[in-house]
Structures are given as structure tokens and as C-alpha cells.
Amino acid sequence: IYLTAGYFIGGAWADRSPKHETLFMILSWAALAVGLIPLASRPILRLASNAFDELQLGALFGSFVVVMVLFVIPVTLIGMASPFAIRLAITDTQQVGKISGRIYAISTLGSFTGTFVPTLLLIPTIGTYRTFLVLASLLMLFAFIGLFISSGWRKLLRYVWMPLVIVALFIWGVPGTDKNTTGLVYETESSYNYIQVIEKDEFTMLRLNEGQGVHSIYKADQLFFNGPWEQVVAAPFFNSAPVAPDQITDIAIIGLAAGTTVRDAALVFPNAVIDGIEIDPKIVEVGRKYFDMNDPNLNVIILDGRWAIKNSTKKYDIISVDAYRPPYIPWHMTTQEFFLILKDHLKEDGVMVINIGRSTDDRRLIDSLYSTIHTVFPTLYVTDLSDSFNSILFATNTETNLQNFLDNYVILNEDPLTNQFILGVMATTYAGLQDTPNIGMVFTDDLAPIEGITNSLIMQFIFSGEVETLE
């Protein structure tokens, strides 16, 4: 919308004032406006993030509107540049097509560069705030050079205060946190996430992006958190009894995060080599620094989960998929083709376990994933975690039954050497077992409308006012 307005206004202005000075003046003001965006938006974004945390809908939507208004000036001014450039470049009507094509080619190349350079280079290296300032500085430098060439240094003197503002923002404008989160001990940005480490009641928690989910949790003397992480260790016990913990030698975790599941698996399965797959290297750094993610049996693989498993030469006893965090569910890890890859990398008695988000009364995501996975795996189980929006789905590579799980529990309970942790996890798993879900849509690589389902889940979560934690 803003670019459309810029094209319209810029075209009319260019006809009234077809001067290079006018174009470079517009770009100078656009550069200043870009540089001011993060400074002006920070308090508003803080208000919005806090409102989202506390489900204050009025403040949330009000902040959204204000943030959108912040972009009116810079985007509209930048949009005015293209028609201005065409108007100034055309001196021969016989060259209109050639000149217009050249300008639009440069514009498209600029859009391509502007999409990937900030995301892949600038933001991970210097952060969002300084990225705005760097882009503003480059645009202002270009505008000033053009203004000097076209109009001389006297005209340029009118705008020399602008770079001083940008310099001041570089020096004094950066300090502060993006969210007023109680207990915040560390925050950073990566190519994939806004990352927070929070300490609360002696617990260290990893939160990402909007911060509605606890992605990892750590306390030195505690392993059971009634969350999805420990449920992974219950997976192999759906196979025929007896299943001894020391039989488990190979585990893959897709969605390693800061390693909560690794601690649980390393305790229960001491002989297991754990391949922890995480796409975000900064989360791995955070896990090692703040969550004691340093188990000697952990092999960290920094890759996309589907790619990593597909190209692995190993077969696993357990594959855990913990990459589903509404609204950020990677659709390519929900499809029939993906689960065929997982099945191909499980041992004969291997088990896949997935953490799935839901709302109190909307289980469409579970229904669809169950239906999709059931086309690949013969036996599935779903257990709900109490006081949360999480369900755990277990899929066994061979036909199994619930009696296997009960038999394994009895055997482990009778063994005095069994760690009580696994018995507690299995009891939680059994207590939350659900009936077979409704028939849902089968997701494929060709059609997997995950966003529609997850967006409606998030809206239900917001408007319901419920406060359970999505982990």
C-alpha cells in the first residue's frame, strides 16, 4: 500500500519538479526516516510484546497499528524514487522502453539483495537495530553523493545534520532490551529466531520469538518438568517386553533447542549416542552456555531436520521430532514423504515421537498429523500433557499394543536398579493416553495447509484468554 502511494505521488511530483535535486532530497529524508524506525518502534514493540505475553488484546492491536504507521513515511518516500528516476532518465522518447526496463531491472536486483543480505548477513552479525542504521547510512550516502554532484555543496549543507543524527543513534541509541521480560539474563538475534534466556524460580528457560512457548528448561538437580521433553524416553517401551534401557544405542532429536531432552535421554539410556539436530547455531551456543548442554554422547548437527535425517546413514531406536511450535511449524516436516524418510531411518523396532501443539477444544492439527502418520506407521498412540497445550504422538515401526507398555512398566518397576525417573515418565504417558483421533487431512509435499490450522489455533489461544504454556 505504501509503495503504491509512493509510486503515485512520486510520478506526479516528478512531472512538477523534474530535478535531480528533488529526487536526492527525497532519498535523504527517506534515509533519515529508516534510521529512526527502530528508535521510535522500540517502546511500541515492548508494549506489544508485553501485551502478547499478558493477552491484552487492545494494547496488542493498538501497537500493531502504530508500528504499521511508522513505516508510512520511509516506505512511501522510497516508493517515490522509481517514477522519479524514470522521469529524469528519459531524454529521448524513443528510449523509454529501454530506460524503464533498465531501471526496473536494477530495482528488482536491489529488492533481491535487500531481502537476503539483511537476513543472512546483517541481522545475525550486528542485530536488527544496527541493520536499520546501516541501511539508512548507505541510502543517505548515495543521496548525498547525488545531491553534491547535481547541486553542489551549498545545497548539501542543508542536510548535513542528518548523518549526525544517524551517528548519534549508532552511539547512544542501541542500549536496552527488546522486551521487558522479568528474569531476562540474555537475549540475541539469529537468522532464524529472537532468542531469550530467562531465569525464574531457579529455573533457566529458553524462549523464542513472541515468547509464548518454553522451548527448553534447565535446573541442575531436576529432570522432570511435566513437559514434552521427558516423554521421549517412554517411546521404546511400546515395543514387546522386555525392553532394557541399555539396549537403546541410537537416538535422533530433530529440534534440539537447548538440550532438555538430551539430559533425560542420557540418564535413561546410558549407551545411546544422541544426534541432536538444530538448524539455529545460536540456539546451540545458548544451550552450551546456559543449559549445560555438554553431554559427551551428544553429537550436534546444525542442519535442517529433514535434510539431516534424509542424508544420514544411521538407523535409530528413537527419532524425536520437537520442531512444531505454532505458529512456526515447518510444513515440510509434517508430510507423508517426511515420515517415510523417518521410517526408513528407524530400526525394525524403532519408535518415532512427536510433540504437537493444540488448543483446549481444537485438535485438528493432531487429527491431520495422526491421519498422515498412520499412512506410514502401523500403530500410533496419543497422550495429552496436563496443564499444557501439548500432545505427544508415538508411532511404532512395527505393530504393537498398549499391553506392551504396561508389561514393560511392571518389569522396570520390579527391578531395584531402575531409575524412578523413567517410571514417573511412563506413568504420565499412560495417564494422558487418548482415544483414536478423528480422521483428518493427509498432508503431502504437494499440499500441507499447516498455516491455516496453526493461525486459527493461535487466534483461539489469544481470544480465549487461557494462560497454559505451549511448550
Residues 438 and 308 in one domain: yes
pLDDT greater than 70 at residue 58: no
Say what the pLDDT of residue 357 is.
80
DSSP state of 183: T
Which range, of 56-60, 80-84, 172-176, 347-351, averages the lowest pLDDT?
56-60
Count CA atoms closer than 13 A to 316's CA, side-chain side.
26
Residue 361 has pLDDT above 80, yes or no: no
Q: Could you report the per-residue pLDDT of 76-108, keeping only the tens digit for each?
A: 999 998 888 888 888 777 778 888 888 888 888
Of the three residues 130, 146, 172, the one that is the final residue of a domain is 172
> Could you tell me if 399 and 299 lie in one domain?
yes
In this structure, are 457 and 308 located in the same domain? yes
- Residue 4 in contact with residue 79, Cβ under 8 Å? yes
The verdict on 389 and 274 lying in the same domain is yes
The predicted structure's pLDDT at residue 43 = 67
| Confidence grade of residue 242 (pLDDT, cut at 50, 70, 90) | very high
Q: What pLDDT does residue 318 have? A: 98
Q: Say if 177 falls within a structural domain.
A: no
Residues 130 and 231 in one domain: no
Residue 50 has pLDDT above 70, yes or no: no
Span 178-208, pLDDT tens digits: 555 678 899 888 888 889 999 988 899 998 8
- Residue 199 within any structural domain of the chain: no
Q: 269 lies in a domain?
A: yes
Lowest mean pLDDT across 13-22, 161-170, 221-230, 326-335: 326-335
From residue 337, alpha-carbon distances to 361, 372, 448 in Å are 29, 10, 11
Q: 266 and 158 in one domain? A: no
Residue with more model confidence, 180 or 392: 392
pLDDT of residue 231: 94
pLDDT above 70 covers a percentage of the chain that reads 88
Residue 159 domain-assigned (yes or no): yes
Considering only residues 35 and 44, tell me which one the structure prediction assigns the higher pLDDT: 35
Q: Is residue 458 predicted with pLDDT exceeding 50? A: yes
Structure confidence at residue 468 (pLDDT): 44
Average pLDDT for 356-376: 88
More confident residue, 65 or 424: 424
Span 249-275, average pLDDT: 95
Question: Smallest Cα–Cα separation from 341: which of 380, 315, 368?
Answer: 315
In a domain, 431, yes or no: yes
Does 445 share its domain with 346? yes
Query: How many domains are there within the chain?
Result: 2
pLDDT score recorded for residue 59: 46
Helices (H) and strands (E) in the chain, counts: 17, 11
Residues 163-191: what's their mean pLDDT?
78
Give the position of cell 511404532: 396
209 pLDDT exceeds 80?
no
Q: Is 200 helix (H, G, I), strand (E, B) or coil?
A: strand
pLDDT band for position 2 (50/70/90)? Answer: confident
Q: Give a yes or no: residue 192 inside a domain.
A: no
- Boundary-marking domain end, from 130, 156, 172: 172
pTM as predicted:
0.79
Does residue 381 share a domain with residue 319?
A: yes
Model confidence at 412, in pLDDT bands (50, 70, 90)?
very high
Confidence of residue 153 (pLDDT cuts 50, 70, 90): confident
Lowest model confidence (mean pLDDT) among 126-140, 209-223, 296-310, 457-471: 457-471
Both 271 and 151 in a single domain?
A: no
Confidence of residue 53 (pLDDT cuts 50, 70, 90): low
- CATH label of the domain that carries residue 337: 3.40.50.150
Q: Domain span at residue 51? A: 2-172
Same domain membership, residue 368 and residue 248: yes
What is the C-alpha separation between 328 and 321, in angstroms, rounded? 14
- Predicted pLDDT at 464: 56
Contact 111, 79 (CB under 8 A): no
Domain-embedded: residue 202: no
Check residue 48 and give its pLDDT: 55
Q: Which range among 249-253, 338-342, 440-444 shows the weakest confidence by mean pLDDT?
A: 440-444
Q: What is the pLDDT of residues 317-357, one digit of tens each?
A: 999 999 876 556 888 999 999 999 999 999 999 999 999 88
pLDDT at 432: 94
pLDDT of res. 330: 87
The last residue of a domain, from among 172, 192, 209: 172
Q: What is the pLDDT of residue 172?
A: 80
Closest CA to 72 of 165, 3, 139: 3
The answer to whether residues 247 and 324 belong to one domain is yes
pLDDT of residue 267: 93
CA distance linking residue 61 with residue 45, whole number of Å: 11
Q: Are residues 159 and 243 in the same domain?
A: no
Which of 292 and 129 is assigned the larger pLDDT?
292
Residue 393 covered by a domain: yes
The chain-wide mean pLDDT, for the chain, equals 87
Phi, psi of 245 (to 5 degrees): -55, -35
Summarize the chain as % helix, strand, coil (round to 5).
Answer: 55, 15, 30
